[in-house]
Amino acid sequence: MKKLLIVDDAAFMRLAIRNMLQKHEIEIVGEAANGAIGVEMYKQLLPDVVTMDITMPEMTGIKALKAIKAFDPQAKVIMVSAMGQEGMVKEAIINGAKTFIVKPFKEEFLYQTICKVLGI
């Protein structure tokens, strides 16, 4: 099963993503509540894909993305953004995010995006 790391400061979003994927063949190997922890967890868990919230305290999604990419240039990171964050999404893409999804999103959309990113 493919491994996924969720990075989002809202406990609610982490649970939402977890719930959405529970009947799919994706294993949630970790949840991080801020970018810094997310980076550390990535290094330890080496997941196949990461969902990364853009707006977080302590360390933003962009910064965490950069750190993860620096550690693992092949890292597959999906940015989770809210409406109206085009500028940041662009910056994320430039810094190596594979793609993005916008809140609110439906379960199918999340799963499809992850599949496409993983090439399955």
| Closest to 105 in 3D by CA, of 2, 3, 8, 1 | 8
Segment 32 to 61, residues that bind other proteins, using CB under 8 A: 33-37, 40, 55, 57-60
Q: Is 9 in the site for other proteins (CB under 8 A)?
A: yes
Instruction: For residues 3 and 27, give the distance between their C-alpha atoms in angstroms, rounded to a whole number.
Output: 5
Cβ-based nearer residue to other proteins, 29 or 55? 55
- The beta strands (E) that lie in 10-116 are given as 26-32, 49-53, 77-81, 99-102
Cβ-based nearer residue to other proteins, 5 or 33? 33
- Figure out which of the listed residues 2, 3, 28, 91 binds other proteins, where binding follows CB under 8 A: 91
- Figure out which of the listed residues 2, 3, 63, 69 binds other proteins, where binding follows CB under 8 A: 63
Residue 27 carries which DSSP code? Answer: E
